[in-house]
Chain A
């Protein structure tokens, strides 16, 4: 792919984010933790404030005017998400508390109904704990086998034995983009392999949906989880997308109000999709904010965002290597076409906790820790890494600020 210039500038984008006007110790904030959670533009903040000030009412239940309006706004947010990911119908878009709840819904609904002793599923060594622990919890109950796709030395999935691993498996559940290594996995190819083996394809898309165009039909997935707060939306709302026929077959996850069509002393019947999976009063205001976030990043253009991040990642990989040589080890693929703008790195032998502490002095905010991916950390031979992750409001100046702050780390921990 030839490099082309983005049609938006990060500096212009930053003007939409009130938080970036905050100075700490008279210095600007260099926010490099968007893989964890992104900052929020004024448009998202305003949408929620406006809803609370003018339109707030409970949804789905009452006949009065404002309840109907609020329901329309909530459902309008669902429609925005549906178009954003290329889903076939609103029924396929389920709002949850967060992506972790989406994964738990999959495990405790589909998994519990379909997995037993003698069965197997396939995960990978680069999964977030949210795509590991729920399966382990269910496996402890049901006794099915969990198989693992290993990694190559440059931090990609080693797919050479994929067909063998999938032989007899009922599901392949994997991340579309590693939250540690930045690796972008071949979702369509892996979904095809799963289907050939008679397994369903479950995709943790938390790190991919905010950063590149998503078309669930082209990806060939059966179920997909992602979160609002990593794409400029508020916390408190996540998304589960699923093929309608599959969601129809799945038993409900949580029981309660909203998810039923009838309840008798002898039992209940479920509401149609998507309400079947939305028990209780949902995060109404947050759904409105998520809808505004979808509008915001869609207006920037998902292909533009991807291109911006490719160029920024290329600059970061080059400039950090130029400045620090062998003192910095950046994990994951070096080819920017197959990785996102999430850079986990080791710097000299400085512990990531100490490193992030010194960076904090310069208002350079990176994540230090295991990134909720301890199996991967063990594979990297590290208890922890430092991780700088970039988004639409970051630019080359932020990479330079990271570099300058790393020089300061060298000074503090000079031997």
Chain B
């Protein structure tokens, strides 16, 4: 039986209390995407500033608006630090690696432990969220910001075509 210590790791509570890259950005130049967790009603906004186009474009700035629980807010905060300054391609790989850690495989493939190793994306602090998998109803909290960012990156792609 998983315990609370699996969920509320110190680093998660730190990102919850002191969220990084929090607040609204001016649109444009930033692109705003809203995400919602219909289960609990949490609403967040992901603001993206992307320089360039295509997979080599750089996420020069990212910020999070809205509110949520400790899991959704800390996951969003850690996500911003993981992708800020990285390329869109790296951001997408990080999304895939994070969702894989959450046991979500968008391409429909069965989970393989070696899959993440084959794509060496370092999740760093985000590893602290691994315990969320033991609490299935909270996976939606942890992935809210990530799904919203993925949608935002798609929208930015379409706009710059």
Task: Tell me the A residues contacting B by CB distance below 8 Å.
Answer: 25, 351-354, 357-358, 361, 368-370, 374, 377, 383-384, 412-413, 415
Residue on A with the closest CB to B135?
Answer: A357
Measured CB to CB, the closest approach of chain A to B59, in angstroms, equals 27
B1 an interface residue at 8 Å Cβ cutoff? yes
- Once the chains bind, are B40 and A383 in contact (CB under 8 Å)? yes
- Once the chains bind, are B40 and A352 in contact (CB under 8 Å)? yes
- Once the chains bind, are A353 and B141 in contact (CB under 8 Å)? yes
Measured CB to CB, the closest approach of chain A to B41, in angstroms, equals 4
B4 an interface residue at 8 Å Cβ cutoff? yes
- Once the chains bind, are B13 and A413 in contact (CB under 8 Å)? yes
Which residues of the other chain, A, contact B138 by a CB distance below 8 angstroms?
A: 353, 357
How many chain B residues touch the partner (CB < 8 A)?
A: 20
B118 an interface residue at 8 Å Cβ cutoff? no
Residue on B with the closest CB to A355?
Answer: B69
Within 8 A of A (CB), among B16-35: 17
B161 an interface residue at 8 Å Cβ cutoff? no
B71 an interface residue at 8 Å Cβ cutoff? yes
Which residues of the other chain, A, contact B1 by a CB distance below 8 angstroms?
A: 25
- Once the chains bind, are B42 and A384 in contact (CB under 8 Å)? yes
Residue on A with the closest CB to B67?
Answer: A383
Which residues of the other chain, B, contact A374 by a CB distance below 8 angstroms?
A: 41
Q: With the chains together, A370 CA to B36 CA distance in Å?
A: 12
Q: With the chains together, A379 CA to B135 CA distance in Å?
A: 30
- Once the chains bind, are B8 and A412 in contact (CB under 8 Å)? yes
| 13 A-B residue pairs with CB within 8 Å | A351-B67, A353-B40, A353-B42, A353-B141, A354-B70, A361-B3, A361-B4, A368-B40, A369-B39, A369-B40, A383-B41, A384-B40, A413-B70
Which residues of the other chain, B, contact A361 by a CB distance below 8 angstroms?
A: 3-4
Taking A361-B4, A412-B8, A413-B13 as contacts, is the C-beta distance between A369 and B41 under 8 angstroms?
Answer: yes
B68 an interface residue at 8 Å Cβ cutoff? yes
Q: With the chains together, A384 CA to B8 CA distance in Å?
A: 20
Measured CB to CB, the closest approach of chain A to B141, in angstroms, equals 6
Measured CB to CB, the closest approach of chain A to B112, in angstroms, equals 30
- Once the chains bind, are A351 and B41 in contact (CB under 8 Å)? no
Which residues of the other chain, B, contact A25 by a CB distance below 8 angstroms?
A: 1
Q: With the chains together, A178 CA to B56 CA distance in Å?
A: 53
- Indicate which residue in B7, B17, B68, B135 contacts A351 across the interface (CB closer than 8 Å): B68
Which residues of the other chain, B, contact A415 by a CB distance below 8 angstroms?
A: 17
Measured CB to CB, the closest approach of chain B to A396, in angstroms, equals 26
Taking A370-B40, A383-B42 as contacts, is the C-beta distance between A358 and B68 under 8 angstroms?
Answer: no
- Once the chains bind, are A353 and B3 in contact (CB under 8 Å)? no
Q: With the chains together, A351 CA to B7 CA distance in Å?
A: 15
Other A-B pairs, 9, CB within 8 Å; known A351-B70, A357-B7: A351-B68, A352-B69, A353-B40, A353-B42, A353-B69, A354-B69, A354-B71, A357-B135, A412-B4
Residue on B with the closest CB to A373?
Answer: B41
Which residues of the other chain, A, contact B40 by a CB distance below 8 angstroms?
A: 352-353, 368-370, 383-384
- Once the chains bind, are B17 and A357 in contact (CB under 8 Å)? no
- 3 nearest A-B pairs in the assembled complex, by CB-CB distance: A351-B69, A370-B41, A353-B69
Which residues of the other chain, B, contact A354 by a CB distance below 8 angstroms?
A: 8, 69-71
Q: With the chains together, A366 CA to B54 CA distance in Å?
A: 47
B157 an interface residue at 8 Å Cβ cutoff? no
